[in-house]
Amino acid sequence: MKLDKFILGTVKEVPSDAEIPSHQLMIRSGMIRKVASGTYAYLPLGLRVIHKIIEIVRQEMDAAGAQEVLLPIVQPMELWQTTGRDQDYGQTLGHFTDRHGRENVLSPTAEEVMTVVGANEISSYKQLPVNLYQINTKYRDEFRPRFGVLRSREFIMKDAYSFDADEIMLEQSYRNMYDAYCNVFKRCGVEYVIVEAEAGEMGGSGSHQFTVPCESGEDVIVYTEDLAYAANIEKAAVDPISPESKTADVQAITEIYTPGSGAIDSVCTYLKTVPEKMIKCMIYVFGPENKILACVVRGDHELNPEKLTQALGGVAPELAPEDIVQRITGAKIGYAGPVGLFDKVDMVFIDHGVAAMAVGYAGANKTEYHIGNVVPGRDFPLDGANIKVIDIRNAAQGDTWQGKKLLFKRGIEVGQVFKLGDKYSKKLGAEYLDESGKRQTCLMGCYGIGINRIMASAIELSYDADGIIWPISIAPFEVLVTTANPNDEQVVAAAEKIYQELLENDIDVAYDDRNQRAGVKFKDADLIGIPLRITVGRKTLDNGEVEIKVRRQSESQLVKLEMAVDTALDKITELWQELIVEED
RNA sequence: CGGGGCGUAGCUCAGCUUGGCUAGAGCGCUACGUUCGGGACGUAGAGGUCGCAGGUUCAAAUCCUGUCGCCCCGACCA
């Protein structure tokens, strides 16, 4: 590819709304342009990266025995209603009414449609296992798009769905995809960790997340020092906190006037205490009958909605609206407390952390009042028909799991695999006949990879002050040939020859034949981050030499003109070497 | 959805507080000349309904109202 007429689109200035390195660099290097909030156009250079990632994913999926299909992005709402996921997804689900009055969903994922497609094609156990995948655009009406393509409304996802006869087969399919994912990320040159994860809107029984650790990530992963345990924070389990030694005699509860102090911090300031001594109580509603759930956690702890959902057997609770909170507690929001509250609600979850407290402060269920000297177990019960002491909070600094200290790290989720079980196949009729001719429901798994996120996380992992440093496997080009003196005929002739020879060797090469000053071309080269650069210039050509530089190394190397292509080929091979996955 | 901020040239922004001359700078773009290995320099030029709509005023980019868009923070608060 010659760059003279190529839409390169590099810019010097950082757009004011780009905060994280990958977003800034993708715009500066001319990979993407913003069209609207959370929607981006890919320019030629960026699309080349996308294509390379897709090709790696496709190869690995095919190698794993999956078969590529293409599903519609616009899908009938009825299918989503059948599984109830129109509700689960809530506002994030993009949809519109067509001219016939039919409701359509803009696919954020495709379990429903793929299950129907699979159901139509699968009839016998002899066909199983089957794995169907697609790579196409997904749409999510994100509440708050940000970080460039890391959280955009539109994005490109590879989504695969396995249809299996039984648990054992599902386990194999799951493992198969899991291994394929390891290959994909390795080949793309992004370092990742695998953590246990919650199934979220997908439902199902087991899930792992592939996460690229980096500061700009939105996810938090939790792990033990020895890495024996790693999980997303939404899933991470914590050991119960060991009980504080009970203070011999705590005086009876005292009511304290705390005007205008609803929030934990302001109450603490007022009471001259710390959040660890506070007992938070939150009111939720859940289920079709809008039952009331009270959750009690320590003031410094964060409630984990996923754990609540699990504890309720898969029903996601919602924070109670103000009027319900007032009706239940008799106070404004901010003054709920556990004492005397439990007979007014249908269900109570108390976190281990609260049960372990010797004494603390809590809301008084009376506007503008808190109570002190609250002793869990004395002033409110820790067991009962509708009272459970369980783990309902996020892991926090200082927590342990199985006695081992938990550590925290941010990361970008680039892939996730789920065991769905029969959640979709049952509702949408994905069945097969077994050996005895009996009708059986398929078990399913689903497996997603965020293509754009791989692109962004590769940049987050590898850049410097001058620009991007791509892994060769997903770089827009493998090699850049450039001329330092574009008006020198000999220089141009030599560069042209190297370019042609590299093309003949099936190298993906760009030739910067622009009539620009050397400085401009070097700056652009560094910015767009092609792994290998060959510079032909008067300065070295007088000695019959050209300059070869690996982007991520600081020093360049001079080689004889006639050795240039061979040396480049060697270096390219070397760069590829570390991205190769060994076959079993 | 709540709080804050911002909409002025393709991009980054100044000007607005305290209304007043032809609305500016840098980058980018065009032409010419000099330059030519780490984002050159000079000269000349193109490019603007100052987000949109209304209002106040002799006069509005500037003040007021509404509206649209964008960005940041929060939205698990007790």
Q: Residue A211 carries which side chain, given as an amino acid letter?
A: T
Least confident interval from A94-108, A422-436, A528-542? A94-108
| Average pLDDT of the segment spanning A188-193 | 96
Distance A407 CA to B51 C1' (A): 48
Residues 6+ apart with CB under 8 A from A577: none
A517: nearest nucleotide, CA–C1' criterion = B36
pLDDT digits (tens, 9 = 90+) for A138-168: 999 887 888 889 989 999 999 999 999 999 9
| Average pLDDT of the segment spanning A35-44 | 89
Confidence at A202, pLDDT banded by 50, 70, 90:
low
Does the complex come out with an ipTM higher than 0.85? yes
Distance A13 CA to B11 C1' (A): 7
- pLDDT exceeds 90 at position A463: yes
Distance A96 CA to B6 C1' (A): 31
| Average pLDDT of the segment spanning A422-429 | 94
* A304 CB closer than 7 A to any strand B atom: yes
Q: In terms of C-beta density within 10 A (0-12 exposed, 13-18 middle, 19 or more buried), how is residue A330 classed? A: middle
The neighbour count for residue A126, using CB atoms within 10 Å, is 10
Distance A232 CA to B41 C1' (A): 57
* A30 CB closer than 7 A to any strand B atom: no
A218: enclosing H helix or E strand = none
* A312 CB closer than 7 A to any strand B atom: no
Q: In the 503-532 stretch of chain A, whose C-beta falls under 7 Å of nucleic acid strand B?
A: 517-520, 522-527
A290: enclosing H helix or E strand = none
- DSSP string for A386-436: TEEEE--B---TT-EETTEEEEEEEEEEEEEEEEEETHHHHHHT-EEE-TT
Give residue A329's pLDDT: 85
* A146 CB closer than 7 A to any strand B atom: yes
A49 phi, psi to nearest 5 deg? -65, -45
Which pTM does this prediction carry? 0.91
Least confident interval from A21-25, A299-303, A545-549? A299-303
Specify the pairing of strand A103-106 against strand A74-76: antiparallel
Distance A399 CA to B19 C1' (A): 62
- pLDDT exceeds 90 at position A268: no
| Average pLDDT of the segment spanning A320-331 | 81
- pLDDT exceeds 90 at position A462: yes
Give residue A144's pLDDT: 81
Give the Å distances, CA to CA, from A518 to A130, A482, A490, A536. Answer: 55, 9, 16, 10
Q: In the 267-296 stretch of chain A, whose C-beta falls under 7 Å of nucleic acid strand B?
A: 267, 278, 280-283
Give residue A168's pLDDT: 95
Q: In the 108-137 stretch of chain A, whose C-beta falls under 7 Å of nucleic acid strand B?
A: none
Torsion of CA A234, A236, A240, A242, to 10 degrees: -110
Task: Please tell me the distance from the alpha carbon of residue A253 to that of residue A290, in angstroms, as a whole number.
Answer: 32
| Average pLDDT of the segment spanning A232-259 | 82
Give residue A200's pLDDT: 61
List of E strands, A225-368: 230-232, 254-257, 278-286, 291-298, 318-319, 347-351, 360-363
Confidence at A232, pLDDT banded by 50, 70, 90:
confident
Task: Please tell me the distance from the alpha carbon of residue A367 to that of residue A335, in angstroms, as a whole number.
Answer: 6
| Average pLDDT of the segment spanning A20-43 | 91
- pLDDT exceeds 90 at position A190: yes
Distance A277 CA to B17 C1' (A): 48
* A333 CB closer than 7 A to any strand B atom: yes
Give residue A199's pLDDT: 67
| Average pLDDT of the segment spanning A555-561 | 96
Give residue A204's pLDDT: 61
Task: Please tell me the distance from the alpha carbon of residue A345 to that of residue A331, in angstroms, as a whole number.
Answer: 15
Cβ atoms A474, A189 nearer than 8 A: yes
- pLDDT exceeds 70 at position A330: yes
Strand, helix or coil for residue A292: strand
| Average pLDDT of the segment spanning A54-67 | 98
A394: nearest nucleotide, CA–C1' criterion = B76
Distance A75 CA to B60 C1' (A): 51
* A335 CB closer than 7 A to any strand B atom: yes
User: Could you give the angle at the alpha carbon of A137 between the alpha carbons of A207 and A43, nearest 5°?
Assistant: 125
Cβ atoms A216, A26 nearer than 8 A: no
| Pick from A203, A175, A1: nearest CA to A84 | A203
Average pLDDT in chain A: 91
Chain B nucleotides close to protein (CB under 7 A) are: 1, 11-13, 26-28, 35-40, 69-78
| Average pLDDT of the segment spanning A269-278 | 82
Confidence at A87, pLDDT banded by 50, 70, 90:
confident
Give residue A413's pLDDT: 93
Kindly state the tokens that stand for A217: 């990530």
